[in-house]
Amino acid sequence: MKKWQFWLGVLISILFLWLALRGLHLGDFWSVVAKANYWWILPGVAVYFVGVWARAWRWHYLLGPIKKISTAKMFPITTIGYMGNNIYPARAGEVLRAVILKRKEGVPVSASLATIIVERIFDGVVMLAFVFVNLPELAKLTGSSGFVGNIQQVAVYGTAAFIGALIVFLLAAMFPARTASLGDWFIEHLLPERFKEKVRGIMHKFLDGLASLRSPFNVLMVFLTSVVIWLLETAKYWFVMHAFNFEVSFFALMLMNGIVNLATTIPSAPGYIGTFDAPGIAVLTAYGVDQATAAGYTLTLHVALWLPITLVGAWFLAREGIKWSDSLRTEAE
């Protein structure tokens, strides 16, 4: 709470909420929310957890060269990680699940984090693919729809960044000896003596975490799994849509999913408050959905995405008897 990054995130969330809700008539909003058929959220939650199971399988697959761990064991840790992302700032849940995996299975934190970063890179590539599938529709996202900035330009720069990161990781995985040699050179020439051995050990464990990317088949499997994961999440968007009085195509929801998840990479208050909602409402209003309905749907969807996984993750965390404490932070270092 005392760190400036936290308060910067809060300010960014407030800004995005203002952008999302400016001009909204609260009476119309509450009318939309009151008339919604919330039973449609149940199949949405069910299909979302199928996607979470797929995430656990993907992580198990990426960790395979380091240690074979069943998807059933990975699922609780995965939910704890997403719970942590939802309630702690700076995506601390990613470190949390790496630490818990170390405690339970003995996998080094740096190796786990390497696989988690790989997950995020593939997620980013798929999100951008969702955006580019709907490239002609991007022209609708203008200031009049509530969207700020040039989404086409953001998509191009984002694609370059994620593809570039993916290439770097693939090269590091395919040429571990050369990468380690290059890393050793930088460590030897740039770091103080007292840090060299620790950083060198972290680097080698991190490279071990990239082992799954040495096989083209593994890369293809991880990519296809990532596509399935995000299509399942879009299916949740589709189910929740039926609770409200509007309809857009599945492709439009894919575009919304891609844009809101790319926007949540912007620092914000815990739970992606504002950074999820503003672009989601903007996409729907660009498709002709009135602002009250777009706001009611997007805020309901946000809660439906946030609450179930957070409760399940908190339950698994409590069952493990673990708290996000100073000792746990020290273990992550």
pLDDT surpassing 90 at residue 56:
yes
What pLDDT does 169 receive? 80
User: pLDDT: is 19 or 280 the higher one?
Assistant: 280
Query: What span, in angstroms and rounded, lies between the C-alpha atoms of 104 and 63?
Result: 14
pLDDT surpassing 70 at residue 269:
yes
What pLDDT does 102 receive? 92
* Half-sphere exposure (Cβ direction) of 85: Cα atoms closer than 13 Å: 19
Query: What span, in angstroms and rounded, lies between the C-alpha atoms of 151 and 259?
Result: 9
Query: Which of 101-105, 213-217, 312-316 is predicted with the least confidence, judged by mean pLDDT?
Result: 213-217
- The average pLDDT across 223-235 equals 96
Task: Please give the residue range of the domain that contains residue 31.
Answer: 4-332
Structure confidence by residue, pLDDT tens digits, 22-33: 888 889 999 999
What pLDDT does 148 receive? 46
- The average pLDDT across 30-59 equals 96
The average confidence (pLDDT) of the chain is 86
Percentage, residues of the chain above pLDDT 70: 88
CB 266 within 8 A of CB 317: no
What pLDDT does 134 receive? 73
pLDDT surpassing 90 at residue 140:
no
Query: What span, in angstroms and rounded, lies between the C-alpha atoms of 133 and 127?
Result: 10
Crossing angle of helices 216-241 and 250-263, rounded to 10°: 110
Query: What span, in angstroms and rounded, lies between the C-alpha atoms of 277 and 297?
Result: 10
Structure confidence by residue, pLDDT tens digits, 67-112: 999 999 999 999 999 999 998 877 888 999 999 999 899 999 988 9
* Global model pTM greater than 0.95: no
DSSP one-letter string for 242-257: TTSS----HHHHHHHH
Query: What span, in angstroms and rounded, lies between the C-alpha atoms of 7 and 46?
Result: 35
What pLDDT does 268 receive? 84
Number of domains into which the chain is organized = 1
Query: What span, in angstroms and rounded, lies between the C-alpha atoms of 208 and 39?
Result: 45
Structure confidence by residue, pLDDT tens digits, 271-309: 899 889 988 998 898 888 999 999 999 999 999 999 999
What pLDDT does 158 receive? 67
Percentage, residues of the chain above pLDDT 90: 42
- The average pLDDT across 3-16 equals 82
User: pLDDT: is 49 or 4 the higher one?
Assistant: 49
| pLDDT band, residue 61 (cuts 50/70/90) | very high
What pLDDT does 52 receive? 97
Q: Tell me the two tokens of residue 267.
A: 């620092």
Query: What span, in angstroms and rounded, lies between the C-alpha atoms of 257 and 279?
Result: 10
